[in-house]
Amino acid sequence: MSQLRAHRTIRIFRAAAIHAVLLLATLFPAAAWAANLTLAWDPVASASLAGYTVHWGTSPGGYTSQVDVGNTTSHTVTGLSDGVTYYFAVSAFDTSGNRSPYSNEVAGTTPAAAPVASFTVSATAGVAPLSVNFTSTSTGTISPYAWTFGDGTTSASQNRRRRTRRPERTPCR
């Protein structure tokens, strides 16, 4: 009799989880530099509910990380990489440690990091004619490149080699 009762409780618990978890799943991207995603889901209606586990990974159904979030219906996953799509599911667990199947899967992409423009220059002084290489060491996605030299010349190349023919003081932006 006790085995039948336990089996019945698990069955009711799983049925509730399948119908309720992540029916209303939403992702809210956080600030671009934080690489966080927030999930929210509908609660499971079960007296034996103990809490939820959020599962995630970078491929559909491939959950490589998880966190027990307790008995709450939203959670912010932190420490994610910038510009990456993550796939999430939630499972519920009861006071006996029984787990529901995964909820419906949802996906969210963290914002890409802001680009930071930077470059190196091969020479800052020398005898004319002088060849100078400008090399981008920028991070993030930069498109298009737009070099502007003080003599009115420009370039859209990622890296630019420039040859001066006469002595000059040419700022570069």
**pLDDT tens readout for residues 46-77:** 999 999 999 999 999 999 999 999 999 999 99
Residue 38 makes CB contacts below 8 A (sequence gap 6+) with 27, 28, 30, 74, 75, 76, 77
Segment 37-50 mean pLDDT:
93
Question: Is residue 68 domain-shared with residue 125, that is, in the same domain?
Answer: no
Torsion (CA) 34, 24, 88, 18 in degrees, nearest 10: 160
CATH number for position 32? 2.60.40.10
**Range scoring the smallest mean pLDDT among 13-22, 44-53, 79-88, 139-148:** 13-22
In the chain, % of residues over pLDDT 90: 40
Domain membership of residue 149 as a residue range: 119-164
Question: Is residue 65 domain-shared with residue 98, that is, in the same domain?
Answer: yes
DSSP H or E segment with residue 88: strand 85-94
Question: Is residue 16 domain-shared with residue 81, that is, in the same domain?
Answer: yes
